[in-house]
């Protein structure tokens, strides 16, 4: 920082006081970490990147299986896409709904140039730059006609332009793009040495993600990055402050397109095949969700959002045991955070435990078949709650009733006030557990439950941090 | 401090005696929005090192003049000459780069950027590094960035403790209203203008802040040698800093001269207060 920053903070205002106050709230070791972080100053971002990179680099060495590696690859792909989307959406403030087409162009471009499709088999160090440049030119092509549009108008037009990609692929008369059959048999990445394993792709994608993050960080703190953000804040003021708004916007489109195309080409070679369905709106929504969850405008946020979203959704929620850990973990965590004082929390948890034990014993004594099912989730939680939760030998019917009852109880809980709410919490928790063990986690329903759980997690995160995990709080600016 | 001289100033224009050629000349400027004449045949000249105030009742067309000069609107007729060179029809960023800096009546800061970034963003037009050069942090890109920061610290130090260093990393939205006005001026200065357009710099300020801003306008002229065109409703500011005052009403210039002359001019009084009913009766 510059020279005249020394001296007492005369008239230290509310903002300064709040910043100082926030630091004092932290417990000692966190405060120490924060002070160390502040000493690093502008290098702090790079230190964190290096640390996270090293952790990610060592993950495959821990002996994780092929499924986890595949989840890791998908996560890295999503993170790359989110980081690229952040250029347009987070920094420049352009609501670009055609972004996924650039991903598709990258994948299809690589698939055509490096496969038997038209027998080109270009080396990847040749075809990847070609694909990236082509995507950048396409970005220019999208940016030029939309240069005067902002907000939802731009969104509609880019959505339409993005849809053209799918139509072109599906209606390609000469069959170069394969139509609905897609393109199969794409060459693996074979620049320096052929990458034959998924571990290899994991490392390649990790390297590219870190490189992309570094490049974009350098760009963010340069005149270009400042111009992007200035255009987001107020295009007219930016124009009056010597910033050529149209050129700066198109630059954002081109950089975003290049990142998406690079990701697409790696994705194509790792998948060995590309299909039109890989690049539809649902993928776009996932990328947006990752970016918004992590915090628009932040590189670290985009990556974190992708990490949370994909690891939770694909890695953990598929597995009933992990899903159970997340379900119970979320409930307990929410109670610990929200229920004050501690005595009330202890009372609720104790009462729920007692209610379960009594109910289980009573029902078991009257009608043994009604508790014969046992919890359907695995892991240590199942053994803990075996004699607590009521699950009949054929749990479907009870599960459905419990689910409906749970919905009613939650509505009642929201309406109730004060003491009643605390009291109502006890049966709600118990019924939630029954619904979970009896039906939500059963093999036939787990795919649906996965989506519900993801929705709940996203809602919880967005309520507690509306600006996203790493996003900075922003004020609205009138444009 | 690295020398701010590395940042190129306004492009040198003209070759003759600069004192003869006005920095800004409006020549029969008219602007129509459909049937509405916002400006009609406006002539105005601002010379180097001169402070000219533009006054007039609400809706007189004062901010419209600024918007035409800075290229937001294109004039329907007439010319805008900057140092003898026609600039009407150029894009705002091009005009700004030639050396016209401005502030806005309704503040238009980059609210979610830091104070320092607001000022740095305005150095865009006077820096050259391409994105690739910035990414590689090539020597000239670094030099340019250092120079831009020197400019930023220079223009911010103009405001002393008001925009002192500890505020530089605060988001602009955390600033008080008066400080936002100051930051807008600092941002305009970072474009290295030769002519500065200030749109109601004292609006919303208390009397002592108003005195401060009046002195500041004088300092901008004395220390930076700027020509300044200022729109202001506060007559203390107008009286305190102007070399010349121009009064507008309904897009037409109704008076021009020093403050006392314009302030006592019958058309100006009429524009602000309406016509004296007795005089009106006599006139009929």
Cross-chain CB nearest to B111 (options A218, A227, A475): A475
Dist CA B259 CA B263 (whole Å): 6
| Cβ contact A234–B173 (<8 Å) | no
Distance from CA of A9 to the nearest CA of B (A): 6
pLDDT-based confidence at residue B245 (cuts at 50, 70, 90):
very high
Distance from CA of A304 to the nearest CA of B (A): 22
Q: Is the pLDDT of residue A25 over 70?
A: no
Which of B166, B170, B184 to mutate: most A Cβ within 10 Å? B166
pLDDT-based confidence at residue B279 (cuts at 50, 70, 90):
low
Which of B94, B99, B112 to mutate: most A Cβ within 10 Å? B112
Dist CA B260 CA A412 (whole Å): 74
In order of their start, the domains of chain A are 14-316 (1.10.3470), 321-441 (no CATH)
pLDDT-based confidence at residue A77 (cuts at 50, 70, 90):
very high
- In this predicted structure, what is the pLDDT of residue A192? 67
- In this predicted structure, what is the pLDDT of residue A6? 43
- Which token pair is A132? 């990236």
Size of interface A-B (CB pairs under 8 A): 143
Total Cβ atoms within 10 A of residue A151? 11
| Cβ contact B104–A237 (<8 Å) | yes
Q: What is the dihedral of CA A185, A187, A188, A192, to 10 degrees?
A: 170
Dist CA A320 CA B120 (whole Å): 53
Q: Which residue of A has its CA nearest to B110?
A: A233
- In this predicted structure, what is the pLDDT of residue A4? 44
The rounded Cα A111 to chain-centroid distance in angstroms is 27
B chain contacts of residue A13, beta-carbon cutoff 8 Å: 174, 176
Three-state helix/strand/coil letters over A101-115: HHHHHHHHHHHHHCE
Q: Which residue of A has its CA nearest to B173?
A: A475
Distance from CA of A472 to the nearest CA of B (A): 9
Contact B114, B78 (CB under 8 A): no
| Cβ contact A226–B91 (<8 Å) | no
- In this predicted structure, what is the pLDDT of residue B172? 93
B chain contacts of residue A133, beta-carbon cutoff 8 Å: none
| Cβ contact B135–A251 (<8 Å) | no
- In this predicted structure, what is the pLDDT of residue B120? 97
Cross-chain CB nearest to B111 (options A1, A14, A233): A233
The pTM assigned to this predicted structure is: 0.89
Dist CA A10 CA A166 (whole Å): 59
Q: Is the pLDDT of residue B9 over 80?
A: no
pLDDT-based confidence at residue B2 (cuts at 50, 70, 90):
very low
Cross-chain CB nearest to A475 (options B96, B112, B161): B112
pLDDT-based confidence at residue A90 (cuts at 50, 70, 90):
very high
- Residue B231 has φ and ψ, to the nearest 5°, of -95, 130
Cross-chain CB nearest to B93 (options A4, A239, A251): A239
pLDDT-based confidence at residue B4 (cuts at 50, 70, 90):
very low
Q: Is the pLDDT of residue B18 over 70?
A: no
Interface of A with B (CB under 8 A): 1-7, 9-16, 215, 218-219, 222-224, 226-227, 229-230, 233-234, 236-245, 251, 255, 472, 474-475, 477
Q: For B103-157, what is each residue's pLDDT tens digit?
A: 999 999 999 999 999 999 999 999 999 999 999 999 999 999 999 999 999 999 9
Q: Is the pLDDT of residue B75 over 80?
A: yes
Beta bridge partner(s), residue B102: B197
Could you tell me which residue, B70 or A4, shows the higher pLDDT?
B70
Distance from CA of B275 to the nearest CA of A (A): 39
Distance from CA of A46 to the nearest CA of B (A): 15
Residue written as tokens 């509609």?
A156
A chain contacts of residue B165, beta-carbon cutoff 8 Å: 1-7
Cross-chain CB nearest to A243 (options B111, B124, B141): B124
Total Cβ atoms within 10 A of residue B273? 9
Q: For A3-17, what is each residue's pLDDT tens digit?
A: 444 444 445 566 777
Could you tell me which residue, A74 or A384, shows the higher pLDDT?
A74
- In this predicted structure, what is the pLDDT of residue A351? 95
Which of A227-236, A416-425, B215-224 is predicted least confidently?
A: A416-425
Q: Is the pLDDT of residue B1 over 50?
A: no
Mean local confidence (pLDDT), A61-67:
85
- Which token pair is A340? 């004050």
Mean local confidence (pLDDT), B238-266:
93
Q: Is the pLDDT of residue B280 over 70?
A: no
Q: Is the pLDDT of residue A237 over 70?
A: yes
- In this predicted structure, what is the pLDDT of residue A321? 85
Distance from CA of A432 to the nearest CA of B (A): 43
- In this predicted structure, what is the pLDDT of residue A345? 92
Distances A370 to A378, A393, B75 between C-alpha atoms, Å? 20, 6, 85
Q: Angle A166-A171-A172 (CA atoms, 0-180°, nearest 5)?
A: 105
Which of A23-37, A118-132, A206-220 is predicted least confidently?
A: A23-37
Residue written as tokens 């500041």?
B216
Mean local confidence (pLDDT), A350-378:
88
- What ipTM did this prediction achieve? 0.91
| Cβ contact B108–A242 (<8 Å) | no
Contact A121, A114 (CB under 8 A): yes
A chain contacts of residue B149, beta-carbon cutoff 8 Å: 2
Mean local confidence (pLDDT), A186-213:
89
Distance from CA of A159 to the nearest CA of B (A): 27
Q: Angle A192-A198-A201 (CA atoms, 0-180°, nearest 5)?
A: 45
| Cβ contact B131–A222 (<8 Å) | yes
> Which DSSP category does A188 fall into?
P
- In this predicted structure, what is the pLDDT of residue B6? 54
Q: Is the pLDDT of residue B207 over 80?
A: yes
- Which token pair is A188? 């693996």
Q: Angle B122-B123-B125 (CA atoms, 0-180°, nearest 5)?
A: 95
- In this predicted structure, what is the pLDDT of residue B19? 53
How high does pLDDT run on average in chain A?
89
Cross-chain CB nearest to B164 (options A10, A224, A237): A10
B chain contacts of residue A234, beta-carbon cutoff 8 Å: 108-110
pLDDT-based confidence at residue A478 (cuts at 50, 70, 90):
low
| Cβ contact B125–A229 (<8 Å) | no
Contact B174, B118 (CB under 8 A): no
Contact A132, A313 (CB under 8 A): no
- In this predicted structure, what is the pLDDT of residue A1? 37
Cross-chain CB nearest to B110 (options A2, A219, A229): A229
How high does pLDDT run on average in chain B?
90
A chain contacts of residue B174, beta-carbon cutoff 8 Å: 13-15
- Using a CB cutoff of 8 Å and minimum separation of 24, what contacts does B37-44 make? B37/B250, B37/B251, B38/B64, B38/B251, B39/B64, B39/B65, B39/B68, B39/B75, B39/B251, B40/B250, B40/B251, B40/B252, B41/B78, B41/B252, B42/B78, B42/B248, B42/B251, B42/B252, B42/B253, B43/B253, B44/B246, B44/B253
- In this predicted structure, what is the pLDDT of residue A176? 87
Largest CA distance in chain B: 78
Q: Which residue of B has its CA nearest to A245?
A: B93
Contact B157, B167 (CB under 8 A): no
Q: Is the pLDDT of residue A37 over 60?
A: yes
pLDDT-based confidence at residue B273 (cuts at 50, 70, 90):
confident
B chain contacts of residue A15, beta-carbon cutoff 8 Å: 170-171, 174
pLDDT-based confidence at residue A23 (cuts at 50, 70, 90):
low
Contact A264, A132 (CB under 8 A): no
B chain contacts of residue A243, beta-carbon cutoff 8 Å: 93, 121, 124-125
Q: Which residue of B has its CA nearest to A4?
A: B165
| Cβ contact B149–A475 (<8 Å) | no
| Cβ contact A242–B126 (<8 Å) | yes
Could you tell me which residue, A322 or B118, shows the higher pLDDT?
B118
- Range with top average pLDDT, A184-198, A309-323, B16-30, B63-77: B63-77
Q: Which residue of B has its CA nearest to A232?
A: B110
Report CA torsion sign: A110, A111, A115, A116. negative
């Amino acid at each position: 920082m510059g020279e005249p920053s020394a001296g007492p903070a005369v008239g230290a205002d509310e903002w300064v006081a709040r910043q100082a106050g926030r630091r004092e709230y932290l417990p000692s070791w966190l405060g120490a970490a924060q002070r160390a972080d502040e000493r690093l100053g502008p290098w702090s971002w790079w230190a964190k990147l290096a640390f996270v990179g090293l952790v990610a680099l060592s993950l495959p060495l821990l002996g994780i299986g092929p499924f986890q590696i595949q989840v890791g690859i998908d996560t890295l792909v999503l993170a790359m896409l989110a980081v690229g989307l952040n250029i347009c959406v987070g920094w420049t403030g352009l609501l670009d709904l055609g972004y996924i087409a650039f991903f598709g162009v990258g994948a299809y471009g690589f698939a055509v140039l490096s496969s038997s499709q038209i027998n080109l088999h270009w080396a990847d160090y040749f075809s990847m730059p070609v694909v990236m440049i082509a995507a950048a030119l396409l970005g220019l092509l999208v940016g030029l006609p939309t240069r005067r549009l902002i907000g939802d108008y731009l969104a509609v037009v880019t959505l339409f332009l993005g849809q053209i990609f799918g139509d072109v692929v599906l209606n390609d008369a000469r069959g170069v793009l394969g139509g609905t059959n897609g393109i199969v048999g794409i060459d693996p990445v074979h620049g320096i040495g052929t990458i034959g394993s998924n571990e290899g792709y994991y490392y390649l994608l990790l390297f590219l993600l870190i490189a992309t993050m570094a490049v974009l960080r350098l760009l963010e703190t340069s005149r270009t990055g400042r111009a992007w953000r200035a255009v987001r804040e107020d295009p007219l003021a930016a124009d009056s402050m010597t910033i050529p708004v149209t050129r700066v916007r198109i630059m954002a489109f081109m950089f975003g397109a290049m990142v998406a195309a690079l990701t697409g080409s790696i994705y194509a070679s790792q998948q060995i095949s590309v299909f039109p369905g890989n690049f539809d709106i649902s993928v776009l929504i996932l990328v947006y969700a990752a970016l918004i969850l992590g915090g628009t405008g932040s590189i670290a946020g985009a990556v974190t959002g992708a990490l949370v979203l994909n690891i939770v959704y694909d890695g953990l929620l598929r597995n009933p045991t992990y899903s159970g850990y997340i379900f119970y973990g979320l409930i307990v965590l929410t109670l610990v955070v929200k229920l004050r004082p501690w005595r009330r929390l202890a009372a609720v948890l104790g009462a729920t435990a007692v209610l379960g034990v009594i109910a289980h014993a009573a029902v078991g004594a009257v009608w043994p078949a009604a508790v014969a099912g046992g919890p359907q989730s695995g892991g240590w939680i199942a053994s803990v709650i075996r004699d607590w939760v009521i699950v009949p030998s054929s749990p479907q019917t009870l599960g459905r009733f419990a689910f409906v009852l749970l919905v009613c109880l939650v509505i009642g809980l929201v309406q109730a006030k004060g003491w009643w709410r605390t009291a109502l919490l006890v049966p709600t928790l118990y019924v939630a557990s029954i619904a979970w063990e009896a039906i939500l986690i059963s093999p036939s329903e787990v795919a649906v439950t996965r989506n519900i759980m993801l929705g709940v997690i996203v809602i919880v995160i967005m309520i507690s941090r509306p600006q996203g995990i790493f996003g900075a709080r922003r004020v609205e600016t009138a444009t | 401090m690295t020398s701010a001289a590395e940042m190129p100033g306004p492009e040198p224009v003209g070759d003759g005696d600069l004192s003869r050629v006005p920095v800004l000349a409006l020549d029969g400027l008219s602007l129509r929005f459909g049937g509405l004449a916002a400006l009609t045949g406006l002539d105005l000249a601002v010379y180097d090192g001169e402070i000219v105030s533009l006054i007039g009742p609400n809706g007189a067309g004062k901010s419209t003049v600024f918007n035409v000069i800075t290229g937001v609107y294109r004039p329907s007729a007439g010319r805008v000459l900057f140092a003898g060179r026609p600039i009407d029809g150029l894009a705002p960023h091009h005009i700004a780069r030639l050396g016209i800096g401005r502030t806005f009546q309704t503040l238009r800061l980059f609210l979610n950027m830091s104070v320092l970034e607001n000022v740095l963003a305005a150095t865009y037009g006077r820096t050259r590094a391409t994105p690739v050069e910035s990414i590689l942090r090539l020597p000239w890109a670094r030099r340019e960035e250092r120079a831009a920061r020197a400019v930023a610290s220079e223009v911010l130090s103009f405001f002393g403790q008001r925009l002192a260093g500890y505020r530089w990393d605060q988001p602009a939205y955390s600033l008080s209203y008066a400080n936002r006005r100051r930051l807008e001026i600092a941002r305009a200065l970072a474009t290295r203008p030769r002519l500065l357009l200030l749109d109601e710099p004292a609006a919303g300020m208390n009397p002592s802040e108003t005195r401060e801003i009046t002195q500041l306008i004088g300092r901008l002229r004395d220390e930076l040698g700027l020509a300044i065109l200022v729109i202001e409703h506060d007559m203390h500011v107008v009286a305190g800093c102007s070399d010349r005052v121009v009064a507008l009403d309904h897009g037409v210039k109704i008076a021009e001269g020093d403050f006392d002359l314009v302030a006592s001019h019958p058309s100006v009084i009429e524009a602000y207060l309406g016509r004296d009913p007795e005089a009106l009766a006599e006139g009929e």
